[in-house]
Amino acid sequence: MLGAMFFVPAAFALDVTHVRLAGSIDVAGKRLDGVATLETAPREGPVRLDAEGLQITGVTVGGRRVPFNHRDGFLELDAPGVAPIVVTYTAGPSGGLRFEGEFASTQYATWTWLPCPSDPSDRATFDVDLRVPDGSVLVADGDGEAPAYTWGFAVGPYERHADGVSVVYTPRGVPVPEHAFRDTAAVLAKAAELTGVPYANRHYVTVLTPYSSAQEV
C-alpha cells in the first residue's frame, strides 16, 4: 500500500509548499474536524492528494467550491492555477492517529488524518492551529521543510520541562526520567562537530506519551 501511495502519476504532479491544519480535536470523542489549506507551486491540471479513510465534506479553490472525487484512498480534483486548495474533512482513529484516554498523537501515516502528498521527495512547511480540550496542550512540528510522513502533533495534559536546548513534555505529574535527557546538548554539539553541520533549531523537543509511540517530527 505504501509503495502505491509513493508513486505519483505525472498527470497528478503537484509541488506543495505549505500546509496549514486548523479546526478542532475531540479527544474523548476520538474525532478530528480539520480544515487543511494547501499552498502549491503553479498547477497545470488535475490534483491528487492522499486521503485514506477521511470523510471529505468540501473542497474550495480560491474560495470557490469545486467538485471532487474521493475514492480508493485518493482525493482528486481539477484545480489549475496557484490559488490555495482548502479541504474540510473529519478523521477518526487510524494507523496514523491514535486516541488513548486524555491523549492523542500522530504517527507516520499522515494521509490518514490530513489530505496531503505522501511522496517523501515532496517537502513542505507545516503548521497546526487546532482547538484542544480544556487542560490540554498541543505540541507539533517546528519550522522547516519536511516530507509529509514526518508531520505530526500530540495533544494531552502535558507538562513542559526545559533544560537549555532540551525540552521534554511529560504527562502531567510525571517527572522527566532521571538521566534520560541530561546529555542532549552534549550529543547535539558532538554531532555538529563530527558532521560540520550545526543543529538548526532553538530546541530539541521530546514528547513522552503514556503509550508506545515513536515518530520524528
Task: With a cut of 90, say whether residue 79 has pLDDT above it.
Answer: no
Instruction: Tell me if 69 sits within 8 A of 77, measured CB to CB.
Output: yes
Task: Find the radius of gyration of the CA atoms of the chain.
Answer: 18
Average pLDDT over residues 70-86: 94
In angstroms, the CA 67 to CA 91 distance is 20
| Neighbour tally for 112: CB within 10 Å | 21
Q: Which of 149-153, 179-183, 188-192 has the lowest mean pLDDT?
A: 179-183
What local confidence, expressed as pLDDT, does residue 216 receive?
Answer: 63
CA-based end-to-end distance of the chain: 22
Cell (9 digits) for 195 = 558532521
Report how far residue 30's alpha carbon sits from residue 122's, in angstroms, rounded to the nearest whole number. 29
Q: Could you report the per-residue pLDDT of 1-58, keeping only the tens digit for each?
A: 444 444 444 445 688 999 999 999 999 999 999 999 999 999 888 899 999 999 999 9
Residue carrying C-alpha cell 525540552: 167
Q: How confident is the model at residue 213 (pLDDT cuts 50, 70, 90)?
A: confident
Candidates 130, 76, 136; CA nearest to 101 is 136
pLDDT of residue 9: 46
Q: Is the pLDDT of residue 196 over 90?
A: yes
Task: Please give the mean pLDDT across all residues of the chain.
Answer: 90
Q: 3-state class of 10 per DSSP?
A: helix
59 close to 46: Cβ distance less than 8 angstroms:
no
pLDDT at residue 6, as a whole number:
46
129 or 142, which is more confident: 129
What domains appear along the chain, each with residue ranges and CATH number?
2-156 (2.60.40.1730)
